[in-house]
Structure 1
Amino acid sequence: MKFRPDLKISLVAALFTSVTFGAQEVALSGVEVTATGGAQEIDAAKVNVRNAALINDVMRDMPGVYIGGTNSLNQKIYIRGINDRGLNITIDGARQKGNAFHHAADLYIDPDIIRSVNVGLGVNSVVGTSGALGGSVAFKTADASDLLEDGEVFGGKIKSGYASNNKEWQESLTLYAKAFESLELLGYVGHRGYGRGESGKGEKLGGNNADNTNYLFKVGYNIADYSKITFSAERMQMKGDFPLRAEWGTTDDSSLVDTKYWRDTYTANFNLNPNDYVDLDLNAYHTKHEAKSSVNAGVKTYGAKAINKTKFETGYIGHTLVYGTEIYQSKSYNKNDTSNTPDDKATSLSVFLEDQLRTGGFTLTPGIRYDNYKLNTMGGTQGIAGRADYHGTSGLQL
């Protein structure tokens, strides 16, 4: 379609007349822009509407964050191009140091139990992102108090779903209750069974005969109105026929390997927050990752952490002091090693102090951290034994 010249002139003249003679001054309200120091968070409301089957479904729209993989064994998190080997990843405060097999991912978590995800981009903090190249990812699982409405004391949720591409069936049951005004209980069991899916080109993806189960039990007790103690026990287990090198994938069913991966995590958390000067979090945990296929290896991690936050103001500057200490130990083992080689072991102890300064819409986070890291490695049957002992202070962080 073409406009006639006289019609084009008429339209321009009408537009000019409307702008010139019909314009009125309009006072617009102010626009406020806020930032949180590079952190991004997905809350429970967003998680609930995603109907997620994999972590990729939960975090798919976070800038700078990419989740790779086509099955539950190789869901690797990348932050600005750095994968989970260079990130600090925690579940309810428990570090995930699960490099059981270098071709598989370290993170195994059921999206159905996630309450929130907090991602710290970069290494601008000596608290959460120190020791990592790309940042941190902190997962929190749901409590009974997150699911119960005001006045409710008992509830449950039954969920089922089906995906046609890989013929996946998903079923889960969640029960939660509150008793004596202070005691909270939550129990969850979830299952996913699926076969091989297809890409847009018709190529086979993922694993076959998959049988994934997740169990979570949590008990919490509220002490007064400003303190809570929580215990949790969880197992995430995946079985099926998967590619040996999970991140490579394969279109040949005959090359799939009977595989079993699982994660056991036990946590104890205590929070005390009576005023702006005391916001104390104590956390102790044990996590075990194990793989059983052509490799038969695992990683055990024990740790504890104490962090307090103190808020105050000096003039126009708001301060949040964050200070504490953390200790953890990771041991890796290989059950296929018949030479009785001792387990590799790494121990880390740290003390840190950070001040989050806020003024005029700007935030600075100067901090200092001391780390003592020891590594004893025997290298397995083909490696080289060695020891490393590092201790030092991290400089000012902004």
Structure 2
Amino acid sequence: MKKFHLALSLCAVLCLSAQADEKSSATDVSKSKDSNTQSLGVIEVTSDSSTPSTVDDVKINTRNATLVKDVFRDIPGVYVGGTNGMNQKIYMRGVSDRGLNITIDGAKQNGNTFHHNADLLIDPDLIKAVEVDVGARSVVNGSGALGGSVAFKTVDASDLLEEGQDIGAKLKVGYTSNNEGYSQSAMLYGRAFDSLDMLAAFKHYGYGFGESGNGKPTGGDGNDINYLLKAGYSFLDFHKISLSTEHMQYKGLYPLRAEFGSWLNGQLDNRKYERDTHTIKYTYNPSDLLELDITGYYTKHQRIGSTSTNVKWGVETKGGKIGAKSKFETGDLAHTLRYGFDYYRSENYVKPGNLRPEKVDNYSFYIEDAMRYGGLTVTPGVRYERHELKTYNGRGAN
């Protein structure tokens, strides 16, 4: 937390202004001072680096982002590499996304299908907001948050509808010159009975190999397809139930080691990488004393290595979490109390055969209180976590 007091600088500017007036009208000094001098209070400029960075929909839309790196490019300590969706990776203070807790609408994204592949598949056009917390400063971040956490939130119909509007649509086309990419997307959203909102979105993005600074080909030659379907029902003033299903797919000609930049010769192959995420969410928010969020989800990441062999590497994650937040004050202290329970199970597979399956069960409880006094915030927290790994279904020497 940094504070700067600018009162001295303002007084200096006003004094210079008064001196200039005195030189131009020396015959009536007292009148000049009375008519031009004003007394201002202290102006405080505050920079707060202790809270998570939030990227809102305005910033996302104005950047015309095609990859996640276009969204994160000005967040300190965060870097996203990759020239296409097949190899984009998030790094936070040098820690890769396999050491970060990444969620989409509360659904945990576990998906290490191949070490040269991306672990995250998401279309920036569908993002409403992103909350980035750099560093493991909070016990709420969840399992795997060694370097921090990234929470994506996708758009809802209620975010797009204006006051008194019941239906709307959004059509978008785009073109990128370096890789001759063309994108087309359509979104339809509406509200019925003042309590039911629905959204349907579809996008296609086709592109070829781009050209790097030294004139060599880079990226991939592919077609990205994704869709999002969401529905929400509000009832009894403070209750809401939401359902969503999302599919994201990259398909085309890509290098085996996609993150190696322009090393393409002899490594190109037709492959496909896809993600499916389904969520159900219940929220209850009667006041600042209680904001309850219950989420259940299923996510599958799957990579098809070659269309000729049709070998599939995949990770399925099922989980749920109950989280609550309470805001209150005790004397001069302002409290933000967070508490809840998390559980998920991840299982990998290699088809056909599936000879070396692994399974992880993880559950945890946490409680944290961010106590604020003036410009100082202290956040004590406790988290209990149990992590169980079962390899080879309990068989074999490993």
TM-score range, shorter chain: 0.7 to 0.9
CA contact (8 A) 1:118 1:137 kept: yes
1:34·1:361 contact (CA, 8 Å) conserved in 2?
no
Partner in structure 1 of residue 313 of structure 2: 297
- 1:38/1:122 contact within 8 Å kept: no
Match of 2:34 in 1: none
**How far apart, CA to CA, are the structure 1 residues paired with 2:18 and 2:282?**
66
| Residues 161, 169 of structure 1: 8 Å contact kept | yes
Alignment CA distance shift 1:322-1:51 (3 Å): same
User: What residue in structure 2 maps to residue 49 of structure 1?
Assistant: 62
Deviation at 1:357, TM superposition (A): 0.6
- Post-superposition Cα deviations, 1:188-246, rounded to whole Å, max 9, x if no partner, equal 000000000011221111001x0100010000011133221110000001100001111
1:372 corresponds to which letter in structure 2?
R
Q: Distance in 1 between matches of 2:193 and 2:295?
A: 25
Q: Which residue of 1 aligns with 2:359?
A: 345
Q: Say yes or no: does 1:116 pair with 2:129.
A: yes
* Higher helix proportion: 2
Q: TM-score, normalised on structure 2?
A: 0.87
Shift of the alpha carbon at 1:324? Answer: 0.7
Residue 223 of structure 2 corresponds to: 211
Looking at structure 1, the residues matched to 369 and 318 of structure 2 have their Cα atoms a distance apart, in angstroms, of: 28
CA deviation digits over 1:111-136, x for unaligned, max 9? 11000000011111101155421100
Match of 1:192? Answer: 205
Consecutive unaligned residues of structure 1, counting only runs of 5 or more, are 1-17, 386-398
Q: Does 1:261 align with 2:261?
A: no
Aligned to 1:70, what secondary structure does the other structure show? coil
Partner in structure 2 of residue 80 of structure 1: 93
Tell me which amino acid in the other structure corresponds to 2:239.
Answer: S
- Structure 1 residue 35: deviation in Å? 2.5
Q: Contact 1:129–1:135 (CA<8 Å) still a contact in 2? A: no
Shift of 1:32: 3.7
Distance in 1 between residues matched to 2:269 and 2:170, nearest whole Å:
35
SS of the residue corresponding to residue 259 of structure 2 reads: coil
Q: Secondary structure, in 3 states, of the residue corresponding to 2:260?
A: coil
Question: What per-residue deviation string (whole Å, max 9, x for no partner) do you get for residues 10-31 of structure 1?
Answer: xxxxxxxx79954988746411
Task: Select the residue among 201, 209, 214 that pairs with 2:214.
Answer: 201
- TM-score w.r.t. the length of structure 1 is 0.87
1:309 — aligned with what? 325
User: Which whole-Å CA distance do the structure 1 matches of 2:193 and 2:357 have between them?
Assistant: 46
1:272 and 2:284 aligned = yes
Q: CA RMSD in A?
A: 2.2
Give the counterpart of 1:234 among 246, 259, 262: 246
What does residue 30 of structure 2 align with? none
Q: Which residue of 2 aligns with 1:168?
A: 181
- Return 5+ residue gaps in structure 2 as ranges: 1-15, 22-36
Which amino acid in structure 2 is aligned with residue 361 of structure 1?
A: G
* Mapped contact 1:222–1:229 kept (Cα < 8 A): yes
2:114 is matched with which residue? 101
User: Aligned in 2, Cα 1:214/1:309: closer, same or farther, shift over 3 Å?
Assistant: same
Residue of 336, 339, 345 corresponding to 1:320 = 336
Query: Are the aligned partners of 1:123 and 1:130 in contact in 2 as well (CA < 8 Å)?
Result: no
Deviation string 1:151-179 (CA, Å, 9 cap, x unpaired) is 00000011001111100000000000000
Instruction: Provide the identity percentage.
Output: 50
**How many aligned positions are there?**
365
